[in-house]
Amino acid sequence: MTRQNHEAQDETTPLLRYHNSADSQGRWSLARRRSSAFLSFLSRPEGEDGDEYLEWQRKRSRYLIIGLLLLNNAGIGILNSFAIEMVQTLACAEYYYSSPDGSTFPTLPTVGDPSDLCSVAWVDKRISQVSTYADTFGSLTSIICSLVLAKAIFPRFSRRAIGISAISSLLLFGVCLALIPTHYSFDPTMPSVSTMHPRTALNLFLAVYVVGGLLGGPQTAMPLLGQVMMLDVCRVDEKTTAFAQISATQTLGIGIASLLLRIILPSFGIEFSVLRHQGPFSPFWMFVIATAITTVLVILLLPETKSMTVAQSQSRRDSASSSDGLLYTTESNAEGQTPSSSAMNKPRSSPQNFLQTTKETLGLFSYLLPYRTSPGARMDYKLTLILCATIFSDTITLVWGNLLVFCSTHLRWGPKNVSTFMGLLSLKGVFAMFCLPYIVKAVHRIVKRRMREEVLAANVEELSAETQLVKRERSVIKTDSIIAIGSLVADCSCFIMMGIAATRLSSGGIYASTFFLLLASGAIPAIQALSVDFFLAQNRPTTDSVAARDTFVGFMNILFSIMATFGPLINNTIYTWSVDNNIPSLVFFWTASVSFISLIFVSLAGFTT
């Protein structure tokens, strides 16, 4: 099968090739004929040499990574569906168990919902406090985990070894959480059997989250590993799609958990309740079972992608920083590497090694400062601006605990309602997984056409290889900027609408706001892709570009962890004050303003490109 002759373009690289193709007949390759009839990652090429096999291996690894992360997040979705109810049960029990005297506790009231029998304001504040502390302490230790992963783990160990260790730590986290005694019954037909004071159980709950965050669970190591592995196997213009698919596995996993808990298992007569936290089908043991299955599959199927990453032999020019950056050549990079290489060869004592490691770790925060590519070049503020946008971009994490607490206490949502809402959020993952990649391609195609028209208007017949590289980077950055700005506008609108719905105590308004979250699914992936693009474009001296990229991706996750640590504390303070003053919707308007701040930073970085 042949195609008609036309202007030759490179179909595997996303920008211009001006009549320099050696294939004058423009024939379709065997791989393209095969992929037109079958899924390309299933049709394995005959030989293992050449680009066809490498492309097949990359696609296969990509789908395996997405599938394993999807199963992992389905287990986490089961955990999240009942975590708030467990804290609520313990908080209500603590309200009645004011003192731990005696081996048995007084009988709890047995009429109505537990939250109806307690002081709603007291329980509301207690639930919000414990949930915020759990997220904060877990995120604080996740910062340490991200630092260790970025500086010590990724450069030294294989991807498979890291993945197996991370999922094993998550399994241990689930077992410890399932063993916490929470059987404080409000059902007159089922007496309480727990002899531990509820306050002690709450402290154990917090301790498990602290240790779990230190070991990378439940939501640190696996997503970070997935991002690095996806960067190993994706092309230059696919970073936003890759990050979006990793993000989509979280919401799709929650949707799978919702489907499992609301439809599949109840059809077999299996109902879940924290008050019946015993046996293999209790909520938290179900999380353990799901994680155990994922652990086995990770051990059997997780690919090793580090070997697929080929370091770029051609130094990337600083197309996104300034025109002066183009003068910063590979030779100047080599000169910049010489002192660090020689310094590494010098033997150092243990205190010197510790001080050097500490200095290098703290030096990661220099990414937040403007960078000068060479002594005579201009300062580059783009990476600084986009990293500031990264800090404020994960708004759903900031308000997630307050949203569930508000819906549980003011709208009387139970686990089924929470699970339903999480199921609706899974549509965000469907959009990010299946629709967003096509939107990114469409926007990228428009950007390339505009750039091609500018080149043709300038009467340039053929571009040099260096200029093509520069324009390719700029087209990718421009595309990601457009996606990020549009998504952040939808994100800001979502929380404004959510605040209005909270003011009117409208469950329907809360559900309807998820439509804007659907359109906002590209915000974080586009910002992450922009961060990696700006970092690579700076052409920093390094002896291992892959390790430097992995370290930077780890630093991005550190910024997310920092915001996830301190952001909920700020939100919880605002929410507590707003509950006291009878305006609980204030926290949602505050979250909208945080999203707007991120939008400003992205716009500034895009305008200066």
Question: Percentage of residues in the chain with pLDDT exceeding 70?
Answer: 73
Please, is 457 exposed, middle or buried when counting C-beta atoms within 10 Å of its C-beta (0-12, 13-18, 19+)? exposed
Nearest in space to 563 (alpha carbons), one of 391, 372, 361: 391
pLDDT at 495: 93
Residue 326 is predicted with a pLDDT of 36
Alpha carbon 364 to its chain centroid, in Å, reads 20
Asked if pLDDT for residue 105 goes beyond 70, the answer is no
In a domain, 311, yes or no: no
Confidence of residue 48 (pLDDT cuts 50, 70, 90): low
Residue 368 falls inside a structural domain? no
Let me know: does 476 contact 14? Beta carbons within 8 Å. yes
Q: Which range among 151-165, 311-325, 333-347, 496-510 has the greatest average pLDDT?
A: 496-510
Q: Is the pLDDT of residue 19 over 60?
A: no
pLDDT band at 13, cuts 50/70/90?
very low
Residue 589 pLDDT: 94
Does 46 score more than 60 pLDDT?
yes
Q: Average pLDDT of 576-599?
A: 91
pLDDT tier, 52 (very low <50, low <70, confident <90, very high otherwise): confident
Query: Do residues 158 and 561 make contact, with C-beta atoms less than 8 angstroms apart?
Result: no
Cα 577 vs. chain centroid, distance in angstroms? 30
Phi-psi region of 412 (alpha: psi -120 to 50; beta: other; left: phi over 0): left
Does residue 1 form part of some domain? no
- The whole-number pLDDT of residue 67 equals 92
The answer to whether position 340 is within a domain reads: no
Average pLDDT of the chain to the nearest whole number: 75
Whether the model clears a pTM of 0.95, i.e. scores above it, the answer is no
Distances (CA, A) of 124 to 340, 344, 408: 54, 55, 9
pLDDT at 500: 93
* Long-range CB contacts (within 8 A, 24+) of 604-607: 604/385, 605/381, 605/382, 605/385, 605/386, 605/389, 605/481, 605/530, 605/534, 606/478, 606/481, 606/482, 606/484, 606/485
Half-sphere exposure at residue 525, Cβ-oriented, CA atoms within 13 angstroms = 35
Number of domains in the chain: 1
Can you give the pLDDT at residue 21?
A: 39
Q: What is the 3-state secondary structure (H, E, C) of 151-184?
A: HHHCCCCCHHHHHHHHHHHHHHHHHHHHCCCCCC
The residue among 452, 424, 455 whose CA lies nearest residue 518 is 424
In a domain, 459, yes or no: yes
Give the pLDDT of residue 350: 64
pLDDT level of residue 10 (50, 70, 90 thresholds): very low
Taking 80 as the threshold, does the pLDDT of residue 57 lie above it? yes
More confident of the two residues 404 and 266? 404
- Domain containing residue 190: CATH number: 1.20.1250.20
The span from the CA of 141 to the CA of 147, in Å, is 10
Residue 13 domain flag:
no
pLDDT for position 26: 39
Size of the chain, expressed as the number of residues it contains = 609
Higher pLDDT, 461 or 207: 207
Residue 459 burial class via C-beta count within 10 angstroms: exposed 0-12, middle 13-18, buried 19 and up: exposed
SS3 47: coil
pLDDT at 345 (0 to 100): 45
What DSSP character marks residue 371? E
pLDDT at 275: 52
Q: Find the range with the poorest average confidence among 198-202, 476-480, 552-556, 576-580.
A: 198-202
Of the listed ranges 24-38, 134-148, 231-245, 343-357, the one predicted with least confidence: 24-38
The H-assigned helical ranges of 97-238 are 114-117, 120-148, 159-178, 198-214, 221-233
Q: Which domain holds residue 408?
A: 54-98+109-303+380-607
Residue 327 inside a domain? The answer is: no
Q: Which amino acid is at 236?
A: V
Q: Is residue 20 part of a domain?
A: no
Please state, in angstroms and as integers, the Cα–Cα distance from residue 103 to each residue in 186, 197, 551, following that order.
Answer: 19, 10, 52
Main-chain phi, psi angles of 35, to 5 degrees:
-70, -20
